[in-house]
Amino acid sequence: MQIFHTITSLQNFLKSQRLLGHSVGFVPTMGALHQGHLSLIETSKSQNDLTVCSIFVNPTQFNNPHDLAVYPRTLEADCEMLESVGCDVVFAPSAEEMYPTLPNLKFDFGDLERVMEGQFRPGHFNGVGIVVSKLFNIVQPDAAYFGQKDLQQCAVINRLVKDLSFSLKLNICPTLREKDGLAMSSRNRNLSPEQRLNAPAIYKALQGASGILKSGESSEKAKSFVSKQLSAVDGIELEYFEISNFDTLQPIDEYLEGKTALCIAAFMGKTRLIDNVII
């Protein structure tokens, strides 16, 4: 496995690979890797000659300085995990390498970012748009792999790829969960043992709400169920629970079979967790 820290060294290597006719799959991450990330690497490996994983904690997408400061950084362990699944290339640039000057450029994804993550994390999707555009330009992949866990991010990147004519295939991969249902996340490392014990309540609330909607009951009922369930759990503070159209991510009042996304964000202490299911 090759590890690059500079754009030029990565690009020189990738140029030589492209001359050999090798296709490139790309998995952007912020590191502190878990099995969810590795599943994206494995999917990319099964579909491409070469898989590149980037590890970069992108400062421009953090609206909360505390979140950025405590975001776990575990490059050495990440590289070992990537090597163990046969990842070919790691790109781990410094902030100075990625941002010699801070871009003034601003992305506005319209209605897509007026809800949920966009609403509660102002500027977040601007930062995501900037870093993902830069990484796509640097790596020039044939295909890129993202997790459904960050559903709104997938929708934003889908728009970005269309609007800026990036010539790559976008693949959305399923959310990997711990045995107790908690969605795998780098931020889970910041939970105390007690918080970790209570965290699966988030997915349980999503499952409960799914059952309510599927049985024909109202979205109000599902919403009040989720807020009651979570307020009964020590240390969980619900930020939002939305019932949305899976394509547009705009709120809907009625359950549309196969097209409904249930999305949730909750704090456990200072750690913010998100999850979603599509029903």
Catalytic positions, written as ranges: 37
Question: To the nearest whole angstrom, how small is the minimum distance from the Cβ of residue 12 to ligand AMP?
Answer: 25
- Six-digit token string for 216: 């024909």
- Six-digit token string for 110: 């319209």
Query: Which residues have CB under 8 Å from 132's CB, separation 6+?
Result: 28, 157, 160
Residues that bind ligand AMP (CB under 6 A): 29-30, 36-37, 39-40, 146-147, 149-150, 173, 175-176, 183-186
Angle at 111 between CA 108 and CA 116, to 5 degrees: 100
Question: To the nearest whole angstrom, how small is the minimum distance from the Cβ of residue 58 to ligand AMP?
Answer: 8
Question: To the nearest whole angstrom, how small is the minimum distance from the Cβ of residue 149 to ligand AMP?
Answer: 4
Q: Closer to ligand AMP at the Cβ: 178 or 217?
A: 178
Q: Closer to ligand AMP at the Cβ: 148 or 229?
A: 148
Question: To the nearest whole angstrom, how small is the minimum distance from the Cβ of residue 185 to ligand AMP?
Answer: 5
Question: To the nearest whole angstrom, how small is the minimum distance from the Cβ of residue 143 to ligand AMP?
Answer: 13
Q: Which residues pair with 3 in a beta bridge?
A: 90
Angle at 45 between CA 43 and CA 49, to 5 degrees: 140
Question: To the nearest whole angstrom, how small is the minimum distance from the Cβ of residue 175 to ligand AMP?
Answer: 4
End-to-end CA distance of the chain: 39
Q: Closer to ligand AMP at the Cβ: 117 or 150?
A: 150
Torsion, Cα 170 161 72 89, to 10 degrees, reads: 60
